[in-house]
Amino acid sequence: MKQHYYFLLLALALPAAASAQTKPSAPDEHVTGYQATPRLRSRVYVGLQAAVPVYWRELSARDLTLDGWEVLAVFAGVRFNANWAVQVGLNVDGFGHSYDIIPGVTGPGGPGQPTGTGRFSGRLAAMPVLLRFNPGWRPAPQCQLEAFAGVTPQWQRFDRRESTALPGQPQLETTEQLRTTNLYATAGLAGVVNVGPGAEVTVEAALNQRSYSSGAAPHGRALAPTLGASFRYYFGSRPRHTSYL
């Protein structure tokens, strides 16, 4: 009879012990929005960024008149855990402006100099590849800081077209093109704010240091700062008791 009693106690105790061993650990509450637990899964996110990159430098009245402009960029990434994520972005933008060729202003002065009109335009494509790190420090509820670093390949194209003429002479059409490929080392900091389930808004500041150029790149900067704001959204269901946001 005692043996049957012991077997009954053992049968009741085994499920309780197994349940205690498989019970998920409590979330890491010191990281708001990025609760780290053993059941955390990788999540994919996409986003849109508005930024002001200063990749160009001002030259003369016949070249650039603005030192940077707004760029819309798209990006996608994978957050592997509460601390680490990899992100790839793409921005394509350009500018163009027309000007008058006036002796003594946009060219040599004096009589016998040509006058006319011209147009200068530029195109840029950049693809930042970044590793993002979240140390888990929050300056305020729902707010965190991130650091990021990586490389940014960049392609530039410049075109100049001018139509000039001397008094009493036919017009002369000239064109000039320049293409360069640059590689920048990128690093910066971002403030992250959780604005809803699966949604974040960030404000980012970065420095881009050019480490390679295919040519002289007379229109480009060797050190280019960037300031921007972005929105990112995470896909995928969140595991029970675990979340990134």
Q: Answer with the residue of higher pLDDT: 79 or 25.
A: 79
Give long-range contacts, CB 8 A cutoff, 24+ apart: 139-144: 141/32, 142/32, 142/33, 142/193, 142/194, 143/32, 143/191, 143/192, 143/193, 143/194, 144/31, 144/32, 144/33, 144/34, 144/191, 144/192
The average confidence (pLDDT) of the chain is: 75
Predicted pLDDT of residue 63? 58
Q: pLDDT band at residue 206, thresholds of 50, 70 and 90? A: very high
Average pLDDT over residues 125-149: 90
* pTM of the predicted protein model: 0.69
> How far apart (Å, rounded) are the C-alpha atoms in residues 93 and 96?
11
Predicted pLDDT of residue 40? 59
Instruction: Give the position of tokens 């200068």.
Output: 120
Weakest-pLDDT range from 62-66, 134-138, 178-182, 214-218:
62-66
CB 122 within 8 A of CB 177: no
The domain ranges of the chain are: 39-94+124-155+182-234
Weakest-pLDDT range from 18-22, 125-129, 145-149, 210-214:
18-22
Q: Answer with the residue of higher pLDDT: 237 or 120.
A: 120
CB 128 within 8 A of CB 92: no
190 phi and psi angles, rounded to 5 deg: -140, 140
Q: Answer with the residue of higher pLDDT: 224 or 192.
A: 192
Q: pLDDT band at residue 138, thresholds of 50, 70 and 90? A: confident
Q: Does domain 39-94+124-155+182-234 have CATH number 2.40.160.20?
A: yes
Q: Answer with the residue of higher pLDDT: 136 or 241.
A: 136
Q: Which of 142, 128, 148, 110 is nearest to 244 (CA)?
A: 142
Weakest-pLDDT range from 129-138, 173-182, 211-220:
211-220
* Residue 106, pLDDT above cutoff 80: no
Predicted pLDDT of residue 100? 78
